[in-house]
């Protein structure tokens, strides 16, 4: 991998680069630049991928690190590879093993994720969405209220919503938001994919108790921070 990164880098700007694999929980890559060059830490989910995928990833990452626009044709091989269900099927067991914050028991203390999913699927999606693996996620509500890992078929909701004090429709709203990610197309922005597009937001407003649910989510995020900020917070992808 290091050789591939050096070769791509020399075609771009030169300078020194190195790349090593790292067992991140999620598929993510980081880099650090100094006088001595740039070191990339590449998710080890990519290890064993075909050489043209690694080369495409090198273009994708080095362009990002150098703040250069990456020619679309050069990064697309990597992007389509890691967005495919086949790629994730191969890494499913590792992902689940590393996802220690996830509990795949849908029945929580106060709420049942499976019941929320079934209701939302029936009411808003005409039962058209295949049931994903449902999980409660133990993480800071200010980070995200839920996420939908589409290629893996995992829909997770923040454990902070599993409380008698939180109305069921708040949980249903987060489930609805995450399910919408499965039926709306993201668009490629300048530097990143935009998931919460105009179309997405319009459909999100179709939730019956949208305003009340949003207020609840703000309250939960604010109380988890221990202050009274009123920034509008929405669940993240
Ligand atoms: Zn989202």
Q: Is 97 left (phi over 0), alpha (psi -120 to 50) or beta?
A: alpha
Q: Is the pLDDT of residue 35 over 90?
A: no
> 178: CA distance to ligand 1 center in Å?
6
Beta pairing partners, 157: 136, 146
Q: What pLDDT, on the 0 to 100 scale, is given for residue 155?
A: 97
> 32: CA distance to ligand 1 center in Å?
28
Q: Is the pLDDT of residue 9 over 70?
A: yes
> 195: CA distance to ligand 1 center in Å?
7
Q: What is the mean pLDDT of residues 35-54?
A: 94
Q: Which CATH architecture has domain 2-93?
A: 2-Layer Sandwich (3.30)
Contact present, 135 and 126 (Cβ < 8 Å): no
- Break the chain into its structural domains and give their ranges: 2-93, 99-225
Contact present, 64 and 70 (Cβ < 8 Å): yes
Residue, of 234 and 85, whose pLDDT is higher:
85
> 191: CA distance to ligand 1 center in Å?
18
Contact present, 81 and 87 (Cβ < 8 Å): yes
> 166: CA distance to ligand 1 center in Å?
20
* HSE toward the beta carbon, residue 164, CA cutoff 13 A: 0
Which of 45, 42, 35 lies closest to 8, judged by CA?
Answer: 42
> 78: CA distance to ligand 1 center in Å?
23
Distance (Å) of CA 158 to CA 106, 171, 213:
12, 9, 14
> 223: CA distance to ligand 1 center in Å?
21
Q: How many other C-beta atoms can be found within 10 angstroms of the C-beta atom of residue 39?
A: 16
For residue 167, the 8-state DSSP code is -
> 132: CA distance to ligand 1 center in Å?
16
pLDDT tens for 138-184 read 999 988 999 999 889 999 999 999 999 999 999 999 999 999 999 99
Alpha helices in the chain (DSSP H): 2-12, 51-65, 72-82, 85-98, 113-125, 168-183, 198-204, 210-225
Asked if the domains 2-93 and 99-225 are classified in one and the same CATH topology, the answer is yes
Which of 84, 90, 19 lies closest to 54, judged by CA?
Answer: 19
* Annotation: CATH topology of 99-225: Zincin-like (3.30.2010)
The alpha carbon of 67 is separated from its chain's Cα centroid by a whole number of angstroms, namely: 22
Which of 116, 108, 148 lies closest to 132, judged by CA?
Answer: 148
For residue 107, the 8-state DSSP code is B
pLDDT tens for 179-217 read 999 999 888 876 678 999 999 999 999 999 999 999 999
Residue, of 228 and 110, whose pLDDT is higher:
110
The overall pTM is greater than 0.85: no
Q: What is the mean pLDDT of residues 57-70?
A: 89
> 102: CA distance to ligand 1 center in Å?
18
């Amino acid at each position: 991998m290091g050789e591939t990164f050096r070769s791509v880098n020399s075609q771009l700007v030169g300078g020194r680069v190195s790349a090593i694999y790292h067992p991140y929980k999620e598929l993510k890559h980081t880099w650090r630049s100094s006088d001595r060059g740039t070191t990339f830490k590449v998710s080890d989910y990519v290890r064993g991928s075909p050489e043209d995928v690694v080369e495409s990833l090198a273009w994708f990452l080095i362009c990002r690190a150098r703040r250069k626009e990456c020619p679309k044709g050069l990064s697309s091989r990597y992007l389509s590879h890691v967005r495919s269900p086949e790629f994730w099927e191969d890494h499913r067991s590792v992902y689940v093993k590393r996802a220690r914050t996830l509990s795949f028991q849908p029945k929580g203390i106060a709420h049942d994720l499976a019941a929320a999913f079934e209701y939302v699927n029936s009411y808003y999606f005409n039962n058209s969405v295949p049931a994903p693996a449902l999980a409660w996620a133990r993480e800071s509500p200010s980070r995200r209220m839920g996420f939908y890992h589409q290629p893996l078929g995992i829909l997770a909701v923040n454990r902070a919503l599993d409380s008698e004090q939180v109305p069921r429709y708040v949980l249903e709203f987060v489930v609805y938001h995450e399910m919408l990610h499965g039926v709306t197309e993201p668009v490629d922005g300048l530097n990143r994919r935009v998931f919460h597009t105009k179309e997405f937001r319009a459909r999100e407003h179709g939730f019956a108790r949208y305003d009340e649910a949003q207020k609840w989510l703000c309250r939960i995020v604010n109380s988890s921070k221990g202050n009274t900020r009123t920034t509008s917070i929405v669940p993240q992808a």
